[in-house]
Amino acid sequence: MSEVPIADPQLGVAERERVADVFDSGMLAAGEEVTAFEDEFAAHCGTDHAVATTNGTTALHAALEAVGVGPGDVVVTSPFSFVATANAIRFAGGIPKFADVDPETFNLDPEAVEARIRAIDGPVSAIVPVHLYGLPADMDRFRELADEYDAALVADAAQAHGASYGGEPVGSLADAATFSFYPTKNMTTGEGGMVTTDDPDVADALERFIDHGRPVDGDSYEHVELGHNYRMTNLAAAIGRAQLEKLPEFTETRRENAAALDAALADTPLRTPTEPDDRRHAYHQYTVRTDDREAVRDRFAECGVDSAVYYPELIPELEAYDGADHSLPVAERLSDEVLSLPVHPGLDEAALERIADAAAGMEVPRV
């Protein structure tokens, strides 16, 4: 393993004690611990409702179903994301259509989305911006587009715990927002997901969908519609509650580490991340750009610094997809240039210095 890993889940005594309490209770499946986690996460995001799920993909699938995406519905999203973003659209029966991204923020470009919508023959059911790497997308503009074209707005916030836009948490800015609690995320439950919303109808639909189509206050064997078993366990929620208490500190440390990297890499050929004035980056990833990625990766590896490429191929280029049906030049270029460096809360001063030393003196072209 590299001396400076790309990710390092921060788990400790509090998580062990919370899990032990659940073991002692004997209530391992969904129950009061999950309900408490949902309430606390909703409060953190400033929303009326939060519904916990098994992972980030099921959270996004459930959210799309809850806002009414169904078979044949067109959904516009980013090609530059983890494949789960588009997969969830397909699981709901929708047809993902891809628009290009902004070269500075790496997020879905609202103007490209509007152009894409205008080129589509028929209505658009939903717009799914991704808060990539922890930087919020332009949610004011996406809200305007969703309203103008009568589309639902569902935000993929899988990487954006602790991020905010215009001073508001990202979980509160769409008809529904979805989070992942995979071990490498800004907080973890081992595996798990969450959907936040202010809409009581969406919340009710979520509760039914993740629990075999059972109404919230219905009989155990009353099933009013098709649904899945996407319920979070009390064990996962126990970890999540302890992690949520630590999330503000985690986020501040990530931001401090990012600031240190900004300073250390300022005079190198690497192009560092952007943070617009109206947004608060949560730095799930610290992603630089370079025209000679392999040489840069080799240099970091030689110095004991791990790195990763998120993402080397656009979603429509993957074998599971049929290819983009129009040009995505910015996303295509970014997929060749981006490289993520360690920024997690487990970094110490020596690790940050190691990253800086590895970047010093690099003789690669500046983007």
Q: How much is the mean pLDDT over the chain?
A: 95
Write down the pLDDT at residue 224.
85
Q: Tell how strand 74-77 and strand 126-128 pair up.
A: parallel
Backbone angles phi, psi at 272, to 5 degrees: -85, 165
d(CA 361, CA 350): 19
Q: Which domains does the chain have, with CATH numbers?
A: 13-242 (3.40.640.10), 247-359 (3.90.1150.10)
The strand pairing partners of 110, in sequence order, are none
Write down the pLDDT at residue 113.
98
pTM value is 0.95
Low-confidence ranges of the chain (pLDDT < 70): 1-2, 218, 363-367
Model confidence over 202-211: pLDDT tens digits? 999 999 999 9
% of residues, the chain, pLDDT over 70: 98
Direct distance between the N- and C-terminal alpha carbons of the chain, in angstroms, rounded to an integer: 30
| Locus of tokens 């991340």 | 273
Write down the pLDDT at residue 2.
65
